[in-house]
Amino acid sequence: MNWFPERHATPLVGRERELDMLRAGFDAARAGHSSLVLISGEPGIGKSRLIEAFAGELAESGALVLSARCDDADPPFAPFMLALRELARADPAELQRALLDSPSPDLKTLVAAGDDADPAAIAPRITLSGAEERARFFDAVVLVLTRLSESRPLVLFLDDLHLADEPSVHLLRHVVRVIGHSALLIAGIYRDTDLDPRHPLEAAIVDLYRERRATRLSMRRLELADLTELIAGLLDVPSNEVEIGLAQAIQAEAEGVPFFAEELVLHLREEGLLQHGPNGWRLAENAGPLIPQSVRSVVGHRLSHLEPRAVETLGVAAVIGTEFSFDLLRDVVERRSGVSRAEVQHDIEAALDRRLILERPPRQQVGRDAPYAFAHDQIRDVLYLNLGQIRR
Ligand SMILES: Nc1ncnc2c1ncn2[C@@H]1O[C@H](COP(=O)(O)OP(=O)(O)O)[C@@H](O)[C@H]1O
Ligand SMILES: [Mg+2]
């Protein structure tokens, strides 16, 4: 069970070292030594993709895999609640057992609220409550996780921790400190480039490293050979069908960041700037200077293929969040500019066609009614920045 898509056009390339570290963490957990692996890296380097691949491996292992992605718009403790609600859907009886005699009624309420209730309505009570209540809540989360990992290993993926709320960070640190001998692996993922030094995660990470409770995995940029394979995957040809010059040109711009490489290849293909020569795919003669200098302009350029109204619609979606539902988007767009339902539908289709957004299968919509997601955070960022402060 997991929220991971089978949406990738490309095979995973060049992440054996990283997968080995995760496998080692899992083996330790299986042997009863819980562990925390903290995966960090710049946007687009492939953090989420790595854990998707690892979760794919775990599918056969008999482990219980729960996952959540942090979003700065979410209420306190959302990542833990979202992960537990995933279990509430998949195996409610098991969750009930794990919650039996829970020391905190708050946890039960939050988890039981399931998909129907608005988490925002319930969650603040917990942060506002006193220290004792909060300690009970923390203990209750530890107890649930301990019980869930009794019969088989439990793996908890927490993506985009740099967007986590402070209470969640404190809870994470608490869990890691007290849960030493359980079959639990937590993989926490965050953007180190975007982490404000004052963000509570920064202090928590420093503590956990010092206490030797966390393993660090900092993601490297891709080598040329791996990048060539990625390009081949995108073009759906074998690697030897990609001319070295093309791979080098893309590497020069993307600097080993897979997201940039993908955007560049898509851009070149959309513009008809790739041609097949005697040694495979290569840049068209007139392509060189046309490669945009920054990814912001690549993304901007890809957006410019959409009708202006569709860009507006996506701009509204970008304000809603990294994930959004059709109904909410339609509601806001309709109110703002009187665009009809069919037109919003049309805009979404256009964005889906260009892989600017993705549709998530229902099982991935972990506890949120948000079937659409930006294909990458940076696409959302560009749209969001383009809006200007006042309209945002
Ligand atoms: N090792 C890899 N092999 C193939 N594609 C990759 C790899 N790493 C990342 N990608 C692709 O690059 C894009 C960005 O990766 P993502 O995991 O979203 O980055 P991050 O989470 O670090 O911001 C995605 O489309 C992903 O599929
Ligand atoms: Mg990511």
What residues does each domain of the chain span? 16-218, 224-291, 301-387
- The protein residue with its alpha carbon nearest to ligand 1, atom 13, reads 259
CA of residue 172 to ligand 1 center, whole Å: 25
Residue range 301-387 forms a domain whose CATH class is mainly alpha
Rg (CA), the chain: 22
Return all residues near 353 (Cβ < 8 A) that are at least 6 apart.
none
Q: Is the CB of 74 under 6 A from ligand 1?
A: no
Q: Is the CB of 48 under 6 A from ligand 1?
A: yes
- Residue 390 contacts residue 310 (beta carbons within 8 Å): no
CA of residue 342 to ligand 2 center, whole Å: 31
Which phi and psi (to 5°) does residue 40 adopt? -125, 160
Atom of ligand 1 nearest to the CA of 52: 17
- Give the DSSP letter of residue 13: -
The candidate with the shortest Cα–Cα distance to 373, out of 332, 314, 310, 333, is: 314
Q: What is the pLDDT of residue 4?
A: 40
Cα dihedral across residues 312, 315, 317, 322: positive or negative: positive
C-alpha 326: how far from its chain's center? 20
The candidate with the shortest Cα–Cα distance to 83, out of 359, 368, 376, is: 368
> Could you give the C-alpha distances from 110 to 39, 73, 75, 119, in angstroms and in order?
28, 17, 11, 7
Give 290-333 as a 3 state SS string.
HCCCCHHHHHHHHHCCCCHHHHHHHHHHHHHCCEECHHHHHHHH
Q: What is the pLDDT of residue 45?
A: 93
CATH superfamily of this structure's domain 16-218 = P-loop containing nucleotide triphosphate hydrolases (3.40.50.300)
Return all residues near 295 (Cβ < 8 A) that are at least 6 apart.
44, 259, 260, 263, 378
- Residue 182 contacts residue 32 (beta carbons within 8 Å): yes
Cα dihedral across residues 317, 318, 319, 324: positive or negative: positive
Q: What is the pLDDT of residue 2?
A: 36
Q: Is the CB of 13 under 6 A from ligand 1?
A: yes
| Token code pair at residue 326 | 């059709």
Q: What is the pLDDT of residue 291?
A: 53
Q: Is the CB of 44 under 6 A from ligand 1?
A: yes
Atom of ligand 1 nearest to the CA of 375: 25
Mean pLDDT in consecutive groups of 10 residues from the start of the chain, 392 residues: 49 95 96 95 91 93 94 86 89 92 84 61 64 90 96 96 93 94 96 81 93 93 96 94 93 85 86 90 76 64 86 93 90 87 93 86 56 84 78 70
- The protein residue with its alpha carbon nearest to ligand 1, atom 24, reads 259
| Token code pair at residue 175 | 């869990």
CA of residue 48 to ligand 1 center, whole Å: 7
Q: Is the CB of 49 under 6 A from ligand 1?
A: yes
CA separation for the pair 199, 299 (Å, rounded): 28
CA separation for the pair 146, 330 (Å, rounded): 42
CA of residue 159 to ligand 2 center, whole Å: 7
- 224-291 carries CATH number 3.40.720: no
CA separation for the pair 182, 190 (Å, rounded): 24
Atom of ligand 1 nearest to the CA of 230: 4
Q: What is the pLDDT of residue 296?
A: 64
- Residue 139 contacts residue 177 (beta carbons within 8 Å): no
Q: Would 16-218 and 224-291 be classified into the same CATH topology?
A: no
- Residue 4 contacts residue 133 (beta carbons within 8 Å): no
Return all residues near 192 (Cβ < 8 A) that are at least 6 apart.
40, 41, 42, 162, 218
